[in-house]
Structure 1
Amino acid sequence: MDLNSKEIQLQYEGFLQTPLLWESENVFNLEQLKLFKKKVSVFEGNIQKKLRLGKRVERFVSNELNQYKAITILKENIQIQDGNTTIGEIDCLLKQQEQPIHLEIVYKFYLYDKTVGLTELEHWIGPNRKDSLVKKLTKLKEKQLPLLLKPQTKPTLEKLKIYVKEIKQLVYFKAQLFIPYQLKNNTFKLINNNCIKGFYIYFQELSQFSECKFHMPTKVNWLQETQTYVNWLSFEKFEQAIEVFMLSKTSPLCWMKQPNGKIYKIFIVWWR
């Protein structure tokens, strides 16, 4: 297995090990696709080197769904056109034991910031403060799922011999969550606490970890579980590398190895 294939397999395994962000139906009344646990499979698809994280996850979901005999994928990444204009995309249409399903796929990284919004769900934001959990849930509810009901979608459904009134709409929403270092033992009511993968610190707090070593995975490798045998940076080299990110207002995900060998996933954030 070459280095690229090995990395892709580790990304796929990291994706499989990421839990659903919620399991009941108390989050915007959106229901998750629930799959019974299987052994970790081998990723058998092709991934172009530059395929971004979101599209990569869609390929991983496709590979995962193909492991289930009760699931048949009918069509993926369906562009819905109104004349020459694309009005949206349906991620996946499938059948699970003959039940037609419209599935929207989401994989996100969110940080808990109590200064944003008033409710628990509103406090989860993107690492660079540009997006948020509530914004994504609203988009799913008001734009992505209603696309199925648009007249422009009808020809696609007719070709597949499925009818709108029979289709169940589900999401497959996974996330890695990060909380402030000071709150690292907190639990939350509405989300699946197994999604908490680590913590975040402000750049100004970095000096308290001067005894640690660090690794900066590429964006697509954010999916991976932490690995031991990687290129570890000394605190001094890491601090220099991080400054560049801080100046460009980018919060990177990093791996931090403590002197006792324990490895954590952390975000270093530029905002405060």
Structure 2
Amino acid sequence: MQTHPRIASIIEADILDFSVTGVPSFDLSALDLPTALDFDLPTNLRLGHLVEKAVSKLIQSSSIFALLHENIQIIEDKKTIGELDFIIENKQTQELVHLELAYKFYLLDPTLSTETIHNWIGPNRNDSLSEKLNKLKTKQFPLLYNDCTKATLHDLQIDTISQALCLMVSLFIPYRFEGNLSSSYQKAIKGYYINFQTFINHHNESKTYYLPAKKEWGIDPEENNNWSDFDTIQKAVGSAMVEKQSPLCWQKCNDTYVAFFIVWW
């Protein structure tokens, strides 16, 4: 996997801010990173852990923040009860921040609720934005104040640590969606989703395709040099539909690139 496009995709990712999450947000632009930053990344990690490793290196490259702790396991009675992503320090103000990180892909299902916050779901409908936020608010952030955490981070004054969320998202809307979304969501829309039959119906000979592995999700499709014909992709997508998996598809048509999910539901 090319590391520079992967790193760039993380640095440039859109975040959901306080108006959506109800939690103070942290944008990676606050790190004030050097230009043309590049470093090696592990190749054997799942996407979420890969992003965590990348962000760890970005914090270490920051001129503003220092990385004090990462992936802090909190153990009670020899059992892990949770984990904190990062404790970072502002070098200028000495302020400490407990930073939680997430890198998510959500599809809009307008039929679920009249409240948009409840309509963002994972590609396979087995997770959601509202569930993620609830877990963060009820489990992840309160974990900082657990007595076991205080014992683990005994070198820090827990009560002086602020908390923030870096929730990087790529959002996808129904094909030809005509509804209105707030700017907080609109800026993070990266494409649309369709069903298998619509995908087949919209093919023409000028289009080629690529099904990125999950660890490639979020990378700009223009960075890809490996394109396949329709028959090859149709067969692969058909198998995914049987397995109830919704693949991400990159499409190239002349000099235009599009990203979309093909959903089984």
Q: What TM-score, normalized to structure 1?
A: 0.89
CA displacement 1:76-106 (0-9 Å, x = unmatched): 0000000211000000011113001101001
**Of the candidates 22, 26, 43, which is equivalent to residue 33 of structure 1?**
26
SS of 2:154's equivalent in the other structure is: helix
Q: Which letter does structure 2 place at the counterpart of 1:60?
A: A
Return the match for 1:208 from 181, 201, 207.
Answer: 201
1:61 is aligned to 55
1:232 deviates by 1.4
Change (3 A) 1:90 1:41: farther
Distance 1:14-1:187 versus aligned 2 partners, 3 A rule: farther
Shift of 1:40: 4.6
- Alignment RMSD (CA, Å): 1.7
Query: 1:1-272, aligned counterparts within 5 Å?
Result: 4=1, 7-22=2-17, 25-34=18-27, 35-36=29-30, 38=33, 40-47=35-42, 49-96=43-90, 97-159=93-155, 162-183=156-177, 187-189=180-182, 191-211=184-204, 212-227=207-222, 229-258=224-253, 260-271=254-265
CA 1:20–1:28 in structure 2 vs 1: closer, same or farther (change >3 Å)?
closer
Aligned-pair identity (%)? 34
Unaligned runs of 5+ in 2: none
Answer whether contact 1:200 1:267 (CA < 8 A) is retained: yes
Q: Is the Cα–Cα contact under 8 Å of residues 78 and 91 in structure 1 kept in the other structure?
A: yes
Gaps spanning 5+ residues in structure 1: where?
A: none
The alpha-carbon distance between structure 1 residues 27 and 94, as it changes in their structure 2 partners (threshold 3 A), is same
Instruction: Tell me by how many angstroms 1:13 deviates.
Output: 1.1
What secondary structure, in the 3-state scheme, does the structure 1 residue paired with 2:113 have? coil
Whole-Å separation in 2 of the counterparts to 1:216 and 1:39: 32
* Alpha-carbon distance, 1:42 to partner: 2.6
Indicate conservation of the 8 Å contact 2:3/2:40, yes or no: no
Q: Which amino acid aligns with 1:204?
A: Q
Q: How many residues align?
A: 259
DSSP 3-state at the match of 1:135:
helix
Letter matched to residue 218 of structure 1: A
**Distance (Å, rounded) in 2 between the aligned partners of 1:63 and 1:188:** 34
Q: Is this contact kept in 1: 2:34–2:61, CA < 8 A?
A: no
Residue type of the alignment partner of 1:178:
F
Contact 1:112–1:123 (CA<8 Å) still a contact in 2? yes
Q: Secondary structure at the match of 2:217?
A: helix
User: In 2 relative to 1, CA 255–73 (structure 1 residues): closer, same or farther, beyond 3 Å?
Assistant: same
Q: CA deviation at 1:38?
A: 4.5
**Deviation string for 1:48-101 (max 9, x for gaps)?**
x22110011111111222232221111000000002110000000111130011
SS in 2 for 1:227: helix
Native 8 Å contact 1:20 1:192 kept in 2: no
Higher mean alpha-carbon deviation, 111-120 vs 171-180, is at 111-120
- Structure 1 distance, partners of 2:75, 2:150, is 11
Q: Write the deviation string for residues 228-253 of structure 1: whole angstroms up to 9, x where unpaired.
A: 55221222221111000000000011
Q: 1:170 to 1:228 in 2, by over 3 A?
A: closer
CA distance in 2, matches of 1:228, 1:141: 36
3-state secondary structure, aligned to 2:20: coil
User: Once the two structures are superposed, what CA deviation does each residue of 1:113-153 show, in whole Å capped at 9, x if it has no partner?
Assistant: 11223311111000000000000000000000000011110
